[in-house]
Amino acid sequence: MSLKIDPWSAPKTLDYERLLKVFGIRPFKELIPLFTEKGIPLSLHMRRGIIFGHRDLDRIINAYSRGEKVAVLTGFMPSGRFHFGHKMTADQLIYYQRLGFKVFVALADAEAFAVRRLPRSEIVRIGIEEYVANLIALGLDAEKTVFYFQTNRGTPYYRLIQLFSGKVTMSEMEAIYGDLTPGKVMAAFTQASDILHVELPEYGGYKHVVVPVGADQDPHLRLARDLADRMKGVVDLLPPASTYHTLIPGLDGAKMSSSRPDYTIFLTDPPELARRKLMAALTGGRPTAEEQRRLGGMPDKCVVFQLYRYHLVPDDETLRAIREECETGRILCGPCKRRAADMLVEFLRDHQEKLKSAVEVARRVVEPPSF
């Protein structure tokens, strides 16, 4: 579509401007005074500008500080392996959970079946052992989180899907999704129900819901917001709030994705394999060591620095020091990569140790569909 957002651009580019201007997303930084006033800590991704935009998050924060019920919701399509792109969403869920938000995680098994054409048993296995288990190992509290498969969510959730279908035209669907298949039509309404059903009393009546997404996912949020509006008189739904983040790039600077395993670090990669992948990553280095010592490296163009920034370095002061070392030319890419690789290997070893028991927990807390 003409206004297609490129999710891989940095927030400084034209597309970011477009999101803010054309789609009415507000800059996240406008909310920082509100967080400060309410005494709510910012998340790592908020502090670092990775979460750059939002819709209605102020409403959610105000409701939260009044002690009202608030929730955060996301969905994963169980069709590949859990990687550092997914981890970023996980980190956001954990942040909100620790503030006291209710967490809902949809496993988009219907979509994986209809659109990706995977076998059902494989979808269910991946959903539990790959997605839910990794989320738990990362620190999501399994007992306080609602994990569900889309095909296993109960009648009122499906009623929304059915009723939504009368409220949208084919042209509106095509504007959002391009070429349509019956599976995509179904997936669109199912996703809208994922976002909105938690407002129903049957699912806890969470009227204040935030959905953290990449900028490319905004069309889904706009559909959900429109549907909330169009259901007036049928069922009372508030439009969801959302936040928008830039996506961590793959190791070659292009997309991080399960379908590009050489450029994607999975949380179940053997640590030494992950080290080798990282050592081959694109950096923001100069053509020669001499030049780099003189001019400094370019961390904002460096995939390794993005790994530090998104994931490996929780402490802001340490991250600032790494940036300075790079920009002043005090460290070259080789040793910097080795340091990142050491951090990565340590993270993966620790995570994979936690994952062993997390798989057992995941099998216990998620109800698999009967077929």
Q: Which is nearer to a copy of itself, 17 or 202 (CB)?
A: 202
Among 14, 170, 232, 288, contact with a copy of itself (rule: CB under 8 A) = 170
The yes or no reply on residue 195 touching a copy of itself (CB under 8 A) is no
Measured distance CA(274)–CA(110) in Å, rounded: 31
Which residues from 92-131 bind a copy of itself, rule CB under 8 A? 110, 113-115, 117, 119-120
Q: Which is nearer to a copy of itself, 163 or 359 (CB)?
A: 163
Near a copy of itself by CB under 8 A, which window of 137-145, 168-176, 270-278, 345-353? 168-176
Task: Determine contact, residues 152/112, Cβ cutoff 8 Å.
Answer: no
| Complex with a copy of itself: residue 79 or 134, whichever CB lies closer | 79
Of 183, 214, 219, 253, which lies in the binding site for a copy of itself, with binding defined by CB under 8 A? 183
One-letter-per-residue 3-state SS of 227-257: HHHHCCCCCCCCCCEEEEECCCCCCCCCCCC
What pairs with residue 108 in β-bridges? none
Rg (CA), the chain: 21
Q: Which stretch binds a copy of itself (CB under 8 A): 23-31, 38-46, 353-361, 363-371?
A: 363-371
Residues 6+ apart with CB under 8 A from 51: 28, 43, 45, 92, 212, 243, 244, 245
- Please report, for residues 56, 120, 146, 222, 289, the alpha-carbon distance to residue 132 in angstroms, rounded to integers and kept in the order given: 28, 17, 10, 27, 44
Q: Mask of contacts with a copy of itself, 138-157, x by CB under 8 A?
A: ------------xxxxxxx-
Structure-block tokens of residue 260: 């590009």
Q: Does residue 235 touch a copy of itself according to CB under 8 A?
A: yes
- Out of 163, 238, 279, 332, name the contact with a copy of itself by CB under 8 A: 163
Strand 26-27 vs strand 102-107: parallel, antiparallel, or unpaired?
Answer: unpaired
Span from 45-53, 178-186, 270-278, 301-309 in contact with a copy of itself (CB under 8 A): 178-186
The count of chain residues that interact with a copy of itself, using the rule CB under 8 A, is 41
287 binds a copy of itself (CB under 8 A): no
List Cβ neighbours of 69 (8 Å cut-off, separation of 6 or more). Answer: 63, 102, 204, 205, 206, 207, 208
The kind and range of the H/E element at 321 are: helix 316-327
Among 62, 165, 257, 258, binds a copy of itself (CB under 8 A): 165
- Among the candidate windows 231-239, 240-248, 343-351, 356-364, which touches a copy of itself by CB under 8 A? 231-239
Residue 181 interacting with a copy of itself (CB under 8 A): yes
Asked whether the beta carbons of 170 and 177 are under 8 A apart, the reply is: no
Using the minimum distance from each CB to a copy of itself, give the nearer residue, 14 or 371: 371
Residue type, 248: I
| Alpha-carbon distance values, 178 to 23, 171, 172, 219, 220 (Å) | 18, 9, 10, 11, 13
User: Which residues of this protein are in contact with a copy of itself, per CB under 8 A?
Assistant: 110, 113-115, 117, 119-120, 150-156, 158-159, 161-163, 165-166, 168-170, 173, 180-183, 185-187, 189-190, 202, 233-235, 369-371
